[in-house]
């Protein structure tokens, strides 16, 4: 199964990706995660990316296309992959097409997580992340047992610098302007499938199982 997850920040792409990767045993590729890892390691890529990320702007296309293309060449992607948060611009979508052609592959399905703006804002501003294991919580929807502490590993929870309300609003504007055109791009290719990102985690996962069996991907 070779999937692209498309939708605004806060649509739940990351959450579903983690579950789907386990269910269908394919790697979850998040350009956001890869970039944050580089920031954490102090890699030169991270230094370049951080200023964009903190403002909620997109990291330049050539940088993320390079990251994704390298990752897709790795052996574990042979049996499929879930791309989460890439592509985000038309230029990136074209870069992805090129990269996949280069490895004799293609996309089976683009899932578009259609999500209301208020739902996205509430989810993102309430999100807390474990500093140690990266697990995502939400102060209301998925609270940890003990405030500020990860249930899974005891790590400290923190708010991503780009999850503050002002930056979240900017990310949504960036999404409208730069990413939304991808809906038409993939519709034209006949691979787009719209689902509701407003559903809760389990409901959406059930919907996706049906979509995959209908598309004969499982």
Nearer residue to ligand ADP within complex by CB, 86 or 137: 86
Residues 62-91 that bind ligand ADP (CB under 6 A): 64, 85-86, 88
CA distance 173 to 56: 9
Nearer residue to ligand ADP within complex by CB, 100 or 162: 162
The stretch near ligand ADP (CB under 6 A) out of 58-66, 72-80, 100-108, 128-136 is 58-66
Nearer residue to ligand ADP within complex by CB, 15 or 217: 15
CA distance 31 to 19: 17
Residue of the chain from 92, 99, 115, 157 that contacts ligand ADP (CB under 6 A): 92
**For residue 128, which of 146, 145, 148 has the smallest C-alpha distance?**
148
| Angle between the N-to-C axes of helices 201-214 and 13-24, in degrees from 0 to 180, rounded to the nearest 10 | 50
HSE, side-chain direction, 13 A CA sphere, residue 202: 2
Residue of the chain from 5, 20, 45, 59 that contacts ligand ADP (CB under 6 A): 59
Give the nearest distance from C-beta 214 to ligand ADP in angstroms. Answer: 26
Under a CB-based contact definition with an 8 Å cutoff, are residues 120 and 8 in contact?
yes
Nearer residue to ligand ADP within complex by CB, 61 or 217: 61
Q: Is residue 171 flagged as an active site residue?
A: yes
CA distance 87 to 186: 11
| Residue in the structure block whose two tokens are 């049906």 | 210
Q: Residue 20, interface with ligand ADP (CB under 6 A)?
A: no
Under a CB-based contact definition with an 8 Å cutoff, are residues 29 and 84 in contact?
yes
3-state secondary structure of 149: strand
Q: Residue 4, interface with ligand ADP (CB under 6 A)?
A: no
Which two three-digit tokens encode residue 23? Answer: 């269910």
Number of chain residues interacting with ligand ADP (CB under 6 A): 18
Q: Is residue 160 flagged as an active site residue?
A: yes
Q: Residue 171, interface with ligand ADP (CB under 6 A)?
A: yes
Residues labelled catalytic: 13, 88, 127, 160, 171
């Amino acid at each position: 199964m070779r999937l692209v997850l498309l939708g605004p920040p806060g649509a739940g792409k990351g959450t579903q990706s983690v579950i789907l990767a386990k269910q269908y045993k394919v790697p979850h590729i998040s350009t956001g995660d890869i970039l944050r890892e580089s920031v954490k390691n102090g890699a030169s890529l991270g230094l370049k990316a951080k200023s964009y990320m903190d403002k909620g702007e997109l990291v330049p296309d050539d940088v993320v296309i390079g990251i994704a293309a390298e990752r897709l060449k790795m052996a574990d992607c042979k049996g499929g992959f879930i791309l989460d948060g890439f592509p985000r611009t038309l230029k990136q979508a074209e870069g992805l097409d090129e990269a996949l052609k280069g490895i004799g592959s293609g996309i089976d399905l683009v899932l578009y997580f259609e999500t209301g703006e208020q739902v996205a804002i509430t989810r993102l501003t309430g999100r807390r992340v474990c500093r140690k294991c990266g697990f995502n919580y939400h102060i209301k929807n998925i609270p940890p047992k003990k405030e500020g502490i990860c249930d899974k590993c005891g790590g400290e929870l923190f708010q991503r610098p780009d999850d503050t309300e002002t930056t979240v609003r900017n990310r949504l504007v960036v999404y409208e302007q730069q990413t939304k055109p991808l809906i038409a791009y993939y519709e034209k290719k006949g691979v787009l499938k719209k689902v509701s990102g407003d559903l809760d985690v389990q409901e959406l996962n059930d919907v996706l199982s049906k979509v995959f069996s209908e598309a004969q991907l499982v």
